[in-house]
Amino acid sequence: MRHLIDPTDLTVREIDEIIALAEDIIAHRAKYSEVLKGKKLATLFYEPSTRTRLSFTSAMLELGGSVIGFSDAASSSVSKGETVADTVRVIRCFADIIAMRHFKEGAPLVASQYAGIPVINAGDGSHSHPTQTMTDLLTIHREKGTLEHLTVGFCGDLKYGRTVHSLIKAMSRYAGFRAVLISPDELRLPPYMLEEMRESGLEYREVKSLEEAMGEVDVLYMTRVQKERFASEEEYNRVKDCYVLDTEKMALAKPDMIVLHPLPRVNEITRAVDNDPRAAYFRQVENGKFVRMALIYSLLKWAPENRPFDQTPVLAEGLEVNKHTCPNPHCISSTEDVEQLSIGNRCAYCETLL
C-alpha cells in the first residue's frame, strides 16, 4: 500500500511522472472524466482549509469519483474522544482513499498505519504538506520549464511553515538547487531541517532582508507568519510584519523570476504585486487541483485490489521502535497511544531531533 505522508515517499521519477500526468490531464480533461467512477475519497480535515480541501474535492469529482468526509472535527466522533487510529479503521469501510489534515504532527503517519487504504497527508501541524509541494513543483515546472538549476528564496515563517519544509526536501533532490533562507532569527528553519541540509551538502545561505535576496532568486516562495502556531500573541506580534513584498522590491528581481505563495496571505504581499505577471500564486492554486487529480489517480492505481483488515498497525520500512519519548508537544505521540518510532536520530512522526 502506497501513501503520501512525506515528499520523499515518492521517488524523483515518480514525482516527474505525476507532474507529466497532471500536464496530460490539463491538456485532455475529458479523457479523465470517468476514470475513478465508483471510487470514494474521504477528506478528514481536523484543521481549517480552503484550497487543499476544495481542490481535493474538485479533483475527485473531475475524475468521476465521489467525496465524503468532514471539514470540522467537532462535527465528527473525534469530539467524543475517538483516536486517529480508530477513525481511519472506520473510514476504510466507507472510502477507497483518505486525505487527512491534522493539527498534530505525524497524525497522517498514524492514519497510514491503520487505514488499509492509501492515506494522503494534507498538512500536519508545522511539519509537512506534500500535496502543496506537488502543487509547487508543477507550478515551477510549468512556469520555468524545469526543476533543475534553480535558486529558490524562502521568505517569512520558515520555522512553522510546513510548505517550506516539504518543498526544500523535494527540491533538494533536483540538480543545481540553491536555497536562500530569508527569515528573522525567531523564524529560522527547525534544527532537523538545517541538519539535513548540512549533511546532504545542499547549497544554502541565510539572510535577514528580502532586498539581499531579490536579485538572485529564480523563484521567491513567500509565506504567511502563522498566528495559530505561536505560543503567545506577544511572540507573534514581534515578527508578524517582518516581510512585505511590494512593487519596489519586485523591481529588484530578475525579469523572469516568479513569486509563489501557498496562500492564504495576510499582508506579506501587497495587492499591487498581483498585477505583475511574475506573481504566479493564483495560477499555483489551479495547478493544485490538477496535481491532486494525478496523485489520487496514481495512488489508487498502485493500491492492491484486496485490502486486508487484520494488518494493524503496519509500520513503514526503515522505522525503528524505541524507548525515546518525543519532546515535541505538538507531536501525535504526545496524545495518541502509538509506538514510539524513530528514523535515525529523529522522531518518525514529527522529525524532532531526539
Output the smallest distance, CB 177 to ligand CP, in A. 22
The bridge status of strand 66-70 relative to strand 40-45 is parallel
Which is nearest to 354 in space by CA: 344, 346, 190, 328? 346
Applying CB under 6 A, does 49 fall inside the site for ligand CP? yes
**Is 123 near ligand CP (CB under 6 A)?**
yes
Number of neighbours of residue 164 by Cβ within 10 angstroms? 29
Q: Which residues of 125-163 are buried (b: 16+ CB within 10 A; e: fewer)?
A: bbbbbbbbbbbbbbbbbbbbeebeebbbbbbbbbbbbbb
Residue 138 beta carbon to ligand CP: minimum distance, rounded to whole angstroms? 14
Q: Is 7 in the site for ligand CP (CB under 6 A)?
A: no
Alpha carbon distance 320, 311 (integer Å): 18
> Which residue(s) pair with 222 in the sheet?
155
Q: Is residue 50 close enough to count as binding ligand CP by CB under 6 A?
A: yes
Which range of residues in 78-86, 218-226, 262-270, 327-335 is near ligand CP by CB under 6 A? 262-270
Closest approach, Cβ 213 to ligand CP, in A, equals 22
User: Based on CB atoms, which residue is closest to ligand CP, 51 or 238?
Assistant: 51
Contact with ligand CP (CB under 6 A) among 6, 19, 22, 52: 52
Nearest residue (CB) to ligand CP, 287 versus 298: 287
Which CB atom, from 52 or from 342, has the smaller least distance to ligand CP?
52
For residue 163, the minimal CB distance to ligand CP (Å) is 7
Going 318 to 299 to 352 to 83, the CA torsion angle's sign is negative
Q: Least CB distance from residue 264 to ligand CP, whole Å?
A: 6
DSSP 214-256: HTT-SEEEE----GGG-S-HHHHHHHTTS--B-HHHHTTS-TT
Q: Indicate the residue among 264 and 344 with the shorter CB distance to ligand CP.
A: 264
108 forms part of the interface with ligand CP (CB under 6 A) = no
* 52 CA to centre of own chain: 10
Half-sphere exposure of 14 (CA within 13 A, CB side): 15
Residue corresponding to grid cell 498502485: 302
**Contact call for residue 262 and ligand CP (CB under 6 A):** yes
The one among 85, 109, 263, 295 contacting ligand CP by CB under 6 A: 263
Q: With binding defined as CB under 6 A, does residue 51 bind ligand CP? A: yes
| 132 or 298: CB nearest ligand CP | 132
Say if residues 110 and 349 touch (Cβ distance below 8 Å): yes
Binding residues vs ligand CP (CB under 6 A): 49-52, 123, 132, 262-264
